Structure 1
């Protein structure tokens, strides 16, 4: 039976939020640890804790890497707390404190939570495990609300890609909103792909290549042959990080057609201008920005062919509306 160890490191609320959006870090272990950030005292809202679960006793190199997650703990020379856990289902235990959430028409809960009996809500059960994405972070909440708004405003999509799917939550939401769509969900992390497959089974969502099904692939961006074959998409969702979003802009543009809707999240508000500029250069226009705390969720649309040309002899912002035709 494998061991389970927990390393607890104090952090600030801001560090926990950044960690929730950027959960990849260098590890000296053979398998990726699971990270859970939680508030320690409601009366002290800035005091949070990072709990890292490992399947082997953490060595000094791993501890040093984990401390990089909390600069405030490093500055205060705070020693991490290390303990070996009893043989229990610690993933389930770590999620027991997560309350169900409401985002648009979606009611998202873990297996230890309860589905809603409101017929107007769509229940989705997510147990993230080693792939994060239970919906409790502002980036995922913003994407769920934006997807719901797209459906309410009459959008119909038939070919959808969820890039960096994590736990599969956003792909599942798109499946519920557009039942006849062909959806492909990808992630660079094989653990995320396995977790999404398990979550699909828990939600009775069929996996496959047909309509009303979700195809799962492991891919670095949109580099998988299945993604290239299915392009162009009429809806692309990418809830990742600002750096990868900028780097992937040419790939995403190549997989888009005039009128393609693009939903971007995982960036901070201070990174929005850089991300938008990257996609404006690829022929997109910003339609809407939904902001929750410092986390924007951006909705962009690919301009019609020949419909976005820079007017000569005028100096305007690259976001000026007259650079674009109708979408």
Structure 2
């Protein structure tokens, strides 16, 4: 861990910020860094990247990656000596995505009676519901549920488990989530208990775990990860889905849509829908 926790902030035009984010996603040395990209000022075309490196090496490498884009103004701020992650989460408002209402413990009293309320405690895992990719997945799933119910759902890269939990809470009897990060698996399991959702979370890389294969084929697969692993997993996701099954893909920038779609179209998928939120894209595709 770093001696002093820091936040790296970069501001600049959308095209430059998206190019920097794409380069960061492609850099294996930075795959563990938590960051976000969003529009800060539409009128002035100012986009913002926020990163929270957890080691000195991550901080140095992330700043070095941003330095390749002189149009970005980069600021490194020391965070207060406190549980800054918990403080940041406590300041986030609840999120509504279709029928789903995602909130933390600090907003328990605000959960509406006419929603599928999901209490998600993030800890060190990704997926509070506030990120454009998670919201996009939940909105896509909400819309799909208007016409279908899904008996078997797999969530690849589950993070906090919010997507698998959303499936279990809306009637899916078999919901499985995987993550390569052991603490995330623990956090997701704790969130499932909080939400009284029957989900099995597994510490696994890819889709080769015996317990993942045992429940296949799936009716629907969530994969809210990054563009490179989405491309790499296209064949495995196809095999995990039944014919006519749906995959909801996210974690990719709008500029990466073409690359990801090309990988899945080559495997026999067709695009059903795309959702854009800030710089991020969510793709709903169907196995032919």
State the TM-score, normalizing by the size of structure 2.
0.83
Aligned length: 282
Once the 2 structures are TM-superposed, how far is the Cα of residue 46 of structure 1 from its aligned partner? 3.3
Once the 2 structures are TM-superposed, how far is the Cα of residue 73 of structure 1 from its aligned partner? 8.4
How has the CA–CA distance of structure 1 residues 171 and 71 changed in structure 2, closer, same or farther, with 3 Å as cutoff? Answer: farther
2:6 matched residue in structure 1? 7
Secondary structure of the 2:105 match is coil
Secondary structure of the 1:114 match is helix
CA contact (8 A) 1:163 1:221 kept: yes
How has the CA–CA distance of structure 1 residues 223 and 269 changed in structure 2, closer, same or farther, with 3 Å as cutoff? Answer: same
Matches within 5 A, 1:124-143: 124-143=118-137
Q: Does 1:296 align with 2:288?
A: no
| More RCO (CA 8 Å, sep 6+) | 2
Q: Does 1:197 align with 2:189?
A: yes
2:99 matched residue in structure 1? 105
1:147 matched residue in structure 2? 141
Once the 2 structures are TM-superposed, how far is the Cα of residue 122 of structure 1 from its aligned partner? 1.5
Q: Deviations over 1:248-295 (max 9, x none)?
A: 011111112211111111222222222222222222221222222332
CA distance in 2, matches of 1:37, 1:286: 25
Deviates more, 1:91-100 or 1:68-77: 68-77
Deviates more, 1:36-45 or 1:186-195: 36-45
Once the 2 structures are TM-superposed, how far is the Cα of residue 53 of structure 1 from its aligned partner? 6.5
Matches within 5 A, 1:216-231: 216-231=201-216
Once the 2 structures are TM-superposed, how far is the Cα of residue 117 of structure 1 from its aligned partner? 4.5
Give the superposed CA RMSD. Answer: 3.4
Once the 2 structures are TM-superposed, how far is the Cα of residue 52 of structure 1 from its aligned partner? 2.8
Deviates more, 1:10-19 or 1:235-244: 10-19
CA contact (8 A) 1:108 1:123 kept: yes
CA distance in 1, matches of 2:272, 2:36: 34
Once the 2 structures are TM-superposed, how far is the Cα of residue 164 of structure 1 from its aligned partner? 0.8
Matches within 5 A, 1:305-320: none
Q: Say which of 244, 256, 265 aligns to 2:241.
A: 256
CA distance in 2, matches of 1:139, 1:81: 26
Q: Deviations over 1:36-68 (max 9, x none)?
A: 8899999988375736374xxx54x44312414
Q: Deviations over 1:105-129 (max 9, x none)?
A: 1111122223544321111112222
CA distance in 2, matches of 1:51, 1:274: 25
Deviates more, 1:278-287 or 1:38-47: 38-47
2:176 matched residue in structure 1? 184
CA distance in 2, matches of 1:286, 1:297: 11
1:173 matched residue in structure 2? 166
More strand, by proportion: 2
CA contact (8 A) 1:6 1:51 kept: no
Gaps of 5+ in 2: none
How has the CA–CA distance of structure 1 residues 42 and 99 changed in structure 2, closer, same or farther, with 3 Å as cutoff? Answer: farther
Gaps of 5+ in 1: 206-212, 304-327
